Amino acid sequence: MARVNENFLKLKAGYLFPEIGRRVSKFCAENPDAKVIRLGIGDVTEPLVPATIEAMHKAVDEMAHRETFRGYGPEQGYDFLRTAIADNDYKSRGVHIDADEIFVSDGSKCDTGNILDVFDLGNTVAVQDPVYPVYVDTNVMAGRTGAADAQGRYAGLTYLPCVAENGFTPEIPKEKVDIVYLCYPNNPTGAVASRETLVEWVAYAKQHGSLILFDAAYCAFVQDDSIPLTIYEIEGARSVAIEFRSFSKNAGFTGTRCAFTVVPKDLMVSTESGEKRPLHPVWSRRHSTKFNGVSYIVQRGAEAVYTPEGQQQTLELVKFYMENAKLLREGLTAAGIEVFGGENAPYIWLKTPGGVPSWDFFDHLLTQAHLVGTPGSGFGASGEGYFRLSAFNSRANVEEAVVRIQNLLK
């Protein structure tokens, strides 16, 4: 009989969102008239912007004619998109990233998981806690951890607690860690990293020969001009950091699928014998062997995000969600809840009233106010006593949700 990769059996059974789904389905089945508002899963609600739609329509028509039809494209992405990214996301910020350092993919979720292919199992890994579960689960699958403890912490991973007391930015570890995941603006806490914080991380990485995996999926939501939008704004980051970016949240591509990963050519890794090698060709080989490119139509849609119309339209989209975030922040604060995030990120991170456990607050909010959020403990042990609400929703739902929470806590 074929044998299973037992690393997968170490994963905690109830992945966060399926468990939420089970509880919501059960409640809805028992209360068919309840009008449930979901502020749980971080999926966008607004349609693709017109610039993207027009570009994709045009691309579809090109596919209908022999002269303009496209088959397999370059695995790393079409030049038109890689150049648009290099110019608009980096050059415009005074950052030098070459188009061929950009690897276009079908998602940052996949990329943050797939990147582990190119790293030895012996590397030590640190994650923020609470954390985007993908980073942890893919390390478990890769075999880098032992079993999980009662709080869901896996043996062998270093957890960097992010709590109100440290402003949700973790202390820099004293000891050497080979690979550190950083997500800013953060999902789930909505925290951002100041320039000084990132300078410290880059210095740490240089000192210890560590690598930073920087997830900037939410950079478009930053409102504060002093916050770096890319880690490469920090001097020296090119040699210590890989950056993950996605069109999912800024341009509503969660269902359309397009993202990219930046692997600078000066980023070096070491062999067992201590020989230095560039990571770029290794990742390039992995990407082109296991991935066959994002569809031409979708890449044209992503390219259109960078046109003047596309920039204006996506800016409006972000503005819309950030107004939702503001309404949630203000409404919850008025209800006496301590809230964090929501100023440079589409997530509100709140302290559960009375410090009740996250899942208790989830059940209370679901059964009494018919609202769905995400229990903080589902993102990690340090998320216990916190709760996440997403600003991705219609204005009417957000306004209604605020009224319901205020009534619940009266």
Ligand X SMILES: *Cc1c(COP(=O)(O)O)cnc(C)c1O
Binding site for ligand X (CB under 6 A): 42, 107-109, 132, 183, 187, 215, 217, 246, 248-249, 254, 259
Q: Which residues pair with 340 in a beta bridge?
A: 349
CB of 390 to ligand X, least distance (A): 10
| Shorter beta-carbon distance to ligand X: residue 152 or 190 | 190
Q: How far is the CB of 27 from ligand X (least distance, A)?
A: 25
Task: For the CB of residue 215, give the shortest distance to ligand X in the complex, in Å.
Answer: 5
In whole angstroms, how close is the CB of 160 to ligand X at the nearest point? 15
Nearer to ligand X, 331 or 380 (CB): 380
The CA distance from 186 to 138, in Å, is 19
| 246 vs 324, beta carbon nearer ligand X | 246
CB of 371 to ligand X, least distance (A): 20
Chain residue whose CB lies nearest ligand X: 107
Q: How far apart are CB 258 and ligand X at their closest, in Å?
A: 8
Query: Are β-strands 339-341 and 347-351 bridged in parallel, bridged antiparallel, or unpaired?
Result: antiparallel
Q: How far is the CB of 97 from ligand X (least distance, A)?
A: 18
If the CB atoms of residues 114 and 145 are measured against ligand X, the closer one turns out to be: 114
In the bound state with ligand X, the residue whose beta carbon lies nearer, of 48 and 402, is 48
Q: Which is nearer to ligand X, 253 or 331 (CB)?
A: 253
Q: Which is nearer to ligand X, 310 or 331 (CB)?
A: 310
